[in-house]
Chain A
Amino acid sequence: MSKKLIYIHPAPVRVWHWIQAAGIVLLVLTGFQIRYAEMVGIMALKNAITLHNYVGFVVIANYFLWLIYYLGTGKIKIYFPDLRTFVPDAFRQAKYYGFGIFKGDPNPHVMTPDNKFNALQQKAYLGLMFLLLPAQMISGVFLWRVKGYADYVHYLGGIKIIDTIHVILFFFFAAFLIAHCYLATLGHTPLAHLKAMFTGYEEEH
């Protein structure tokens, strides 16, 4: 079997990604502590709130690292599905995950540095990075200074409405985390993708 290494995750992306991962895990944990103070005993409510705020800002800053890198290099286009082939591609990919993968069929998507995501990943990551994560960041900032942003908060319908957005997205991210980590084990070996996220190199088969 010939093994060729391709450089798939440039350093800034790897750095961004692991900050992102650690950040989101912490935000989810402290989020549970804050929302369910009486049921969860990871840490005191006060510390959970403080930590949540700091990590929140790290994740926001990190978001801009991601944005600037991808916009600056023009690589952002890897996040945009090719609309002409999107539907059949997505269908093929879904069929693979739901069926072919069990039989040992090859992954219909072949990773290259210019096209590293399959159609499903593109759609998911695009929504995630341009809609859900920004919405989560903005609602988080509003909750951080309810009084300071009182005008906006009132305009949007009140703190409980903002909180509803933040909480639904929070559940979404928690669910995403589970699915994402699992999907990361679906490489040619269970740890292949994970290793690539550290080294930058993915093996090609």
Chain B
Amino acid sequence: MLLQPYKGFFDGKGLGDTKKIFKERRNKMKKLKKRTRSMGIAFLFAFWLWPALGLAMDNGECLDCHNDEGLTREQGRGSLFVDAAQFHDSAHHGQGIMCIDCHADIAELNYDNDVPHAKNLAPVACSSCHEAEQDAFANSVHTQISSKGITMTCYACHDYHYATPLAAASVGQRDNNFCAKCHNPYQSHDWLPKKEEHFAFVECTVCHVPEVQRHIHLKFFDLVTNQFYKGEDILAILGLGSDQFMPMIDTDNDGTISRPEFEILELMLRQKNVHAIFHAELVAEMAPVAHQVMRGGAERNCEKCHTAESPYFEAVSIVLTKEDGGVDHHQVDRGVLKSYSLSHFYLYAGTRVKLLDMIGILLIGGAGCGVLGHLAIRIVTLRGRRQKKEKS
């Protein structure tokens, strides 16, 4: 099923031969599964020891060898290269997670040997820190497929060394990097019209994980360069620190950017010559439950989203990434969805502009009244016309 090569979507970047990638991954996963059993006990022991010994080794030591692109295994394939710069930008490094926090079975580096640590290390257990994600994932279709002999690890979706913070990621970045590695959504979803629009504006998990909280993200998008502005760039342009943003914009201090306040923000950006549009998209809240992708039961009710009071649009927020890698969500009055501030986002029935409805009532009502009035006079004057006709 599904695992056929196809052209990449969203940004036109090809995804390559997904079938092959998937096969490779699967073989690798199978091997890892076997290894887990034999290494299990040693692994547990080492894990228990790591806090005491960990302090002795910093990332630099590991990277002395592993930041070398030429480093390979004695046997077997696969690079052992870890890109220090990219690791530096990762969510884990940002949170102070070290190499040995994950490769927890390395108790010490013994430079007397060729390889200063065991040649075969235990697979990393993401669940040691991400228990909630593991639990949610265990309930998902992607764990259930283990009965078919397919084991999916966390890093079937996530990059293990270079996982970046996801909270500010756009729909394209999330789905392209995750689900689209294995699924071509265009081969299913025949019931869904406008697939391209839906997959560009709605994250897969919004429909596929019933329990997840949904909300609308607003990001700054430059139509000329076709790129998102980074939150920190917007802040720099406005000359604001991340903690000054809300006090500056939310002038009535109610914690929500109201429509007039939103318009002032637009004006400020225009004064700084930023011709960004607000790009809105429907995403799942960043929470462990997002991993509970189920077979069946996905959202297919159009009216859930395409209705004026859709519960999915209750929370609207501007997402701003910060210098330190963190992400701020600033709440916005959902009314902006129905305004021309967001002229690049419109759901049939969902975010309609009230003013237009008034124009409609006037036009149709006007025609109706005109016709009825004319008809009434015609009926009243009927006798007069009859008499005139008889006379002639």
Contacts and interface: CB of A to CB of B under 8 A. Distances in A.
Contact of A154 (B194, B344, B378): B344
B197 A178 contact: no
27 contacts: A34-B348, A35-B352, A37-B302, A37-B303, A38-B307, A46-B193, A97-B374, A102-B378, A103-B384, A104-B385, A104-B388, A147-B200, A158-B344, A158-B345, A159-B343, A160-B342, A160-B345, A164-B353, A167-B352, A167-B356, A168-B359, A176-B367, A178-B364, A178-B371, A179-B370, A182-B371, A182-B375
A83 interface: no
A35 B348 contact: yes
A36 interface: yes
A172 B196 contact: no
A174 B349 contact: no
Contacts of B381: 102-103
A146 interface: yes
B70 interface: no
Contacts of A146: 194, 197
Interface residues of B, number: 43
B324 to A, nearest CB: 33
A170 B348 CA distance: 14
A168 B356 contact: yes
B279 to A, nearest CB: 10
A147 B306 contact: no
B312 interface: no
Given A35-B352, A101-B378, A179-B370, A49 B193 contact: yes
Interface string A34-72: 111110000011100110000000000000000000000
Nearest to B388: A104
Nearest to A161: B343
Contact of B345 (A159, A168, A171, A174): A159
A154 B371 CA distance: 40
B363 interface: yes
Given A101-B378, A154-B344, 6 more contacts: A35-B348, A35-B352, A38-B349, A147-B200, A170-B360, A172-B363
Contacts of A44: 302
Interface in A143-192: 146-148, 154, 157-161, 163-164, 167-168, 170-172, 174-176, 178-179, 182
A127 to B, nearest CB: 15
Nearest to B310: A38
B130 interface: no
B52 interface: no
B308 interface: yes
A160 B193 contact: no
B359 A160 contact: no
Contacts of A35: 348-349, 352
Main secondary structure of the interface of B (DSSP, over half): helix
Contact of B346 (A104, A163, A168): A163
A115 B220 CA distance: 57
B366 interface: yes
A103 B342 CA distance: 54
B340 interface: yes
Nearest to B371: A182
A104 B384 contact: yes
B97 to A, nearest CB: 39
A170 B106 CA distance: 70
Contacts of A159: 343-346
B349 A178 contact: no
A174 B364 contact: yes
A45 B348 contact: yes
B223 interface: yes
B108 interface: no
Interface in B275-324: 277, 302-303, 306-309
Interface in A86-127: 97, 101-104
A97 B371 CA distance: 12
B189 interface: no
A182 B375 CA distance: 9
Given A102-B377, A104-B384, A171-B363, A164 B356 contact: yes
Nearest to A159: B346
